[in-house]
Amino acid sequence: MRVLIEITSMFELGGGTGFVGRALTQLLRSRGHEVTVVSRRPGKDQITWDELSRLGLPPCEGAVNLAGENVLNPLRRWSEDFRQEVVTSRVETTKTLAKAIAEADHPPRSWVLVTGVGYYRPSHTTKYTENSPGGDFDFFSRLVTRWEAEARVPEQTTRQVVVRSGVVLGRDGGAIAQMLWPFRLGLGGPIASGLQPFPWIHVTDLAGIVVHALEHEGVGGILNGVAPSAVTTSNGDFARALGSALRRPAILPLPGFVVSAVFGPERSVMLLEGQRVVPRRTLESGYRFAFPDLPSAIRDILS
Ligand SMILES: NC(=O)c1ccc[n+]([C@@H]2O[C@H](COP(=O)([O-])OP(=O)(O)OC[C@H]3O[C@@H](n4cnc5c(N)ncnc54)[C@H](OP(=O)(O)O)[C@@H]3O)[C@@H](O)[C@H]2O)c1
């Protein structure tokens, strides 16, 4: 007699209410897993960060942290207070979750933190894999170093993965949602020269890499969260692909000085510069991208 046992696992997601968190929750639930979100607010299937600190980690198979104040919120001035919020919302939530994991009676088997490719120094020529150096040259690179350092937990019980994500593209948030209206009106175009690298990933693939990391025992360490073709994509390529998919001209550049004036010089680096990033370990770990090239990713997002 064959007995079919359906195993459902419970996962804890910090920042699970956000753009990436919603895609990840949906993917995990579609695979039969249960999800509890850790949020600043109470809600259905949610616990608060305060409850996590006071009561400890509920029994679960895996944990993920996606919490973080939106760095590119154009309505927030790049003040000292905002910079602090950007740091604290990532570093303190990661510290809280890592501490809860380390102190849990039944620690989860896997723990995934999503950080960013801002770890690598922007360059038009250098190609970065997961083994490349970085993390100590500007505000964002140092933030990633601190963020990842807070994630360390005892290795004997919990397998740890850090996904360094590029710009996340999807229908329900992120870069494309902010750019869609100017592009639809034919007012879109590259940012500044458009020659700067554009390290991107479809949100389905970022969620897919996190699930792959949670579910596969052999996966550990750093994984770059960018599409395989992102290493050769420039900001101008992205603008042209988006314009072409919308059948609109995409020739009006957004001048660099406007970007600097709106976001401040330190933050505008994220838009005016970029990194050529290769997802070498991600591919070696066996992950197969649903959207490896930009036209198919954009077609899916606009469909
Ligand atoms: N989107 C991208 O292009 C991109 C690129 C590289 C890396 N990442 C990283 O990936 C993670 C997920 O990105 P996302 O686009 O899904 O983020 P998001 O939607 O902007 O925010 C994720 C969640 O973070 C929590 N949060 C926001 N501000 C907070 C604060 N001040 N303190 C504590 N929690 C706060 C919120 O959850 P509650 O309101 O429920 O508390 C929010 O739902 C982030 O850490 C981000 O830095 C994203």
Query: pLDDT tens-digit profile of 237-288?
Result: 999 999 999 999 999 999 999 999 999 999 999 999 999 999 999 999 999 9
- Is the residue at 2 inside a domain? no
DSSP 8-class letter at 74: T
Please give the tally of structural domains in the chain: 1
Mean pLDDT along residues 97-117: 96
Using 50, 70 and 90 to split pLDDT, how confident is the model at 178?
confident
Cβ of residue 70 lying under 6 Å from some atom of ligand 1: yes
Residue 281, domain CATH: 3.40.50.720
Instruction: Tell whether 113 is covered by a domain.
Output: yes
Mean pLDDT of 193-214: 98
CA of 65 to the centre of ligand 1 (A): 9
> Which residue is listed with tokens 């994220």?
270
Q: State the closest ligand 1 atom to the C-alpha of 174, by its place in the atom list counted from 1.
A: 1
Beta bridge partners of 112: 64, 161
In a domain, 1, yes or no: no
pLDDT digits (tens, 9 = 90+) for 52-84: 999 999 999 999 999 999 999 989 999 999 999
Residue 63 in domain: yes
Please give the residue range of the domain that contains residue 134: 10-302
The residue nearest atom 28 of ligand 1, judged by CA position, is 69
CA proximity to 96, closest of 48, 133, 29 = 48
Q: Using a 6 Å cutoff on CB, does residue 199 contact ligand 1?
A: no
Closest ligand 1 atom number to CA of residue 46: 40
Q: Which residue, 177, 159, 155, 301, is CA-closest to 216?
A: 159
- Residues 19 and 17: their CA atoms lie apart, in Å, by 7
39 pocket-lining for ligand 1 (C-beta < 6 Å): yes
Instruction: Return the pLDDT at 8.
Output: 56
CA 268 vs. chain centroid, Å, equals: 18
Residue 3: inside a domain, yes or no?
Answer: no
